Structure 1
Amino acid sequence: MKSLKKKSWVTAVCTAAAVCAAALFTGCSGSGDSSRLYIYNWTYYTPDSVIQKFEEEYGVTVVYDSYASNEELFAKLMAGGSGYDIIFPSGDYVSIMIKLDMLEHIDRSKLTNLGNIDPMVLEKATYDPRMDYSVPYYFGAAGIAVNTARVPQFERSWSMFGRTDLKGKMTMMDDMREVMGDALAHLGYSINTINPAEIAEARDLINSSWKPNLVKFDAESFGKGFADGDFWVVQGYAEVVYEEISEAQKKDTYFFIPPEGGPSYIDSMCILKGSKNRDLAHTFIDFIHRPEIYAEFTDSFGFPATVNIPAREYKKVTPYYTAEELVNTELKNDLGEYLELYNDAWLKIRVGN
């Protein structure tokens, strides 16, 4: 669900696309069919029960299309695939879309539940901390899942991947910014550092201490491999692992986000420029942040109520990790030209020195 989501768009694309964006979204406002709300969101990211409650309360129909990555979302919009009211980009793409004038201003006078949003999340949302164009939907991160029947003793740290006794039973994601970010955080550096020496130190830690113990770098099948018992320790997203394992396996599965921190993400609700149902879009955003509705959303996926503080009192399902575990994480910035430093390091990791 989230394993494809976290890549930065090249800065040059933003510049080249600006003219296209202006042409695409000019003159597209006005009133449309107020009984239909068009949503473009991540696959399986809003529970059917929440959509149904909204439709029944307001007497409307929600048309829900889905995408698997920020790149897919952005490419479709830039190709003219508009007509949507609400989209759910990650933070780096919110920043890009603000620069390209692709988003409507949020009318905070129409939102009664913004006070429910955790100030800590807004502090991290440096791309739009005042919610001028976006309202946080979910704040999460990848972590480590451990088969405690096979690995009863362990430290809650990224150093787990340096354990030679677990060689051949561990995987990390095939994701440059995730793996490099974990190593940088473990070393005490920012996951967004542009210091070549720090990036080289993280590269060497992965190559010399972590990589020799891994079966592979795997961003797609780590959940299934964990469920099948092929892997005992995996880096990845909790929801992917828990979707694969059986109820019986849950008692022997422990997921945590290391206290050193690491990369995280914020997905936000944005109203697309030219939305024909801006009032209804604001109503939906406010509906999501009702505490009982937000609790239902997060319970459906085993998430903590990271964004909405009052919702934590309404939750009925114990989440796979806690909101407190995210405090030391960092959002991945678009590094622009400095991304090449990471590309070079990752090439040495993936194909050897």
Structure 2
Amino acid sequence: MKKILLVLFTLVLLTACGGSKEKKNELYLFNWSDYIPDELITNFETETGIKVITDYFSSNEEMYAKVKAGGAGYDIVVPSTDYAEIMMNQGMLEKLDKSKLSNIDQLNEELASKIVFDKEHDYVIPYAVGATGIAVNTKYVEDYPKSFDIYNREDLKNKMTLLDDMREVMASALIIAGHSPESSDPVDLADAKEIILGWKKNILKFDTESFGKGFANGEYWVVHGYYENIIAHLTDEQAENVDFFLPEKGAQMYIDSMAILKGAKNVENAHKFINYIHRPDVYVQIVDYLETPSINKGAAEIRETTPVYTVEDLAHASLMRDLGEALAVQSETWNEVLTQ
């Protein structure tokens, strides 16, 4: 009998030990690079005892494909508006427990309400708002148009880049051609393709991962991208020679949001992280780091930096939505651009 009790006790002990190993105090974050100050992650870990493990993606398409293929155990992802809508509609996101997200009352609802597919914030919480623009190194480039026409400059050949992002580039070209950025019409797409091919002959490459570094080291003089990815690599002296502008025609606006993946193992920790991010004293460090407009009201009042562009500047920018059936035909046109 004693032997049986000893065996049972040992089994219980092993089971308990095994269970404690499985339930680690962790959080797996899948995010854009250069998007959150490292010290905020460190402070969150210190405050909560939760270890944050972060992986990075360079496009929504890359993020979506990886999550769709299995997700590698991520808890939180940070998709842009169009892919947040796709993922919500496909049942890929966990419904949020808003009783654990007291700080979402800090959201600027004028901006947050643009997420029309989830107005009540049941599945996504806005992380950052901004726009895709064009940066010019004025040390090397003078007398240029503040529009996508700069990509028609043959004298800047191989000194310019465009984002390696179908949605961004196709939408801009469609708008410039006078069409809807969600169009699936073959004639509209042919017009957009012609415009992009005109740009392509003058750029060094389509680049989403290293345009900020390339711009900082002088390899590129004109880049299409996100200000926060550019300024992160510049010294104060270099920044004085940068003109970042939003083209009046073809500018794209984005709202990137935090969402918890369906089946995430660390749902409680994910809610803690999202709520932490929107604490004004925390979020202000994000907008001061990114130098973009604040979607958090409290942070907007105490920020130390002036955003490089304002909410008003975004009025003429287009916010991308789920393309639906148009995605396949636009992707086909984009692949034709890349292979020509």
Q: What's the offset of the Cα at 1:279?
A: 4.5
Quote the Cα distance in structure 1 between the aligned partners of 2:153 and 2:188: 22
Q: What's the offset of the Cα at 1:56?
A: 4.0
Tell me which moved more, 198-207 or 277-286: 277-286
Match of residue 204 from structure 1: 194
Match of residue 3 from structure 1: none
Identical-pair percentage: 41
Does 1:237 pair with 2:226? yes
Match of 1:181 among 171, 178, 181: 171
Match of 1:79 among 70, 83, 95: 70
Residues 85-139 of structure 1: CA distance to partner in whole angstroms, max 9, x if unpaired? 4333333443343334343322333333323223343333233222111111122
What secondary structure, in the 3-state scheme, does the structure 1 residue paired with 2:316 have? coil
RMSD: 3.2
Quote the Cα distance in structure 1 between the aligned partners of 2:100 and 2:70: 31
Residue-pair matches, total? 318
* Contact kept? 1:304, 1:323, Cα under 8 Å: no
Quote the Cα distance in structure 2 between the aligned partners of 1:277 and 1:231: 41
Match of residue 156 from structure 1: 146
Quote the Cα distance in structure 2 between the aligned partners of 1:172 and 1:85: 31
* Contact kept? 1:203, 1:346, Cα under 8 Å: yes
Residue identity matched to 1:81 = A
Match of residue 226 from structure 1: 215
Match of residue 132 from structure 1: 122
Tell me which moved more, 32-41 or 115-124: 32-41
Does 1:170 pair with 2:160? yes
Match of residue 272 from structure 1: 261
Does 1:308 pair with 2:296? yes
Q: What's the offset of the Cα at 1:278?
A: 4.2
Q: What's the offset of the Cα at 1:147?
A: 1.0
What secondary structure, in the 3-state scheme, does the structure 1 residue paired with 2:295 have? coil
- With normalisation by structure 2, the TM-score equals 0.78
Does 1:60 pair with 2:20? no
- After superposition, the Cα gap between the structure-2 partners of 1:244 and 1:287, relative to the gap in structure 1 and judged at 3 Å, is closer
- After superposition, the Cα gap between the structure-2 partners of 1:343 and 1:105, relative to the gap in structure 1 and judged at 3 Å, is closer
Which residues of structure 1 form unaligned runs of 5+? 1-31
Residues 153-203 of structure 1: CA distance to partner in whole angstroms, max 9, x if unpaired? 333222222334544533223333222222223334332222332222222
* Contact kept? 1:140, 1:306, Cα under 8 Å: no
- With normalisation by structure 1, the TM-score equals 0.76
Match of residue 4 from structure 2: none
- After superposition, the Cα gap between the structure-2 partners of 1:64 and 1:154, relative to the gap in structure 1 and judged at 3 Å, is same
Does 1:194 pair with 2:184? yes
- After superposition, the Cα gap between the structure-2 partners of 1:246 and 1:216, relative to the gap in structure 1 and judged at 3 Å, is same
Q: What's the offset of the Cα at 1:312?
A: 1.8
Quote the Cα distance in structure 2 between the aligned partners of 1:178 and 1:150: 26
What secondary structure, in the 3-state scheme, does the structure 2 residue paired with 1:101 have? coil
* Contact kept? 1:91, 1:127, Cα under 8 Å: no
Quote the Cα distance in structure 1 between the aligned partners of 2:149 and 2:56: 34
Which residues of structure 2 form unaligned runs of 5+? 1-20
Residue identity matched to 1:117 = L
Does 1:90 pair with 2:80? yes
* Contact kept? 1:170, 1:231, Cα under 8 Å: yes
Quote the Cα distance in structure 2 between the aligned partners of 1:56 and 1:189: 50
* Contact kept? 1:194, 1:338, Cα under 8 Å: yes
Match of residue 110 from structure 1: 100
What secondary structure, in the 3-state scheme, does the structure 2 residue paired with 1:231 have? coil
Quote the Cα distance in structure 1 between the aligned partners of 2:54 and 2:140: 41
Quote the Cα distance in structure 2 between the aligned partners of 1:176 and 1:346: 6
What secondary structure, in the 3-state scheme, does the structure 2 residue paired with 1:144 have? strand
Residue identity matched to 1:192 = E
Quote the Cα distance in structure 2 between the aligned partners of 1:284 and 1:224: 29
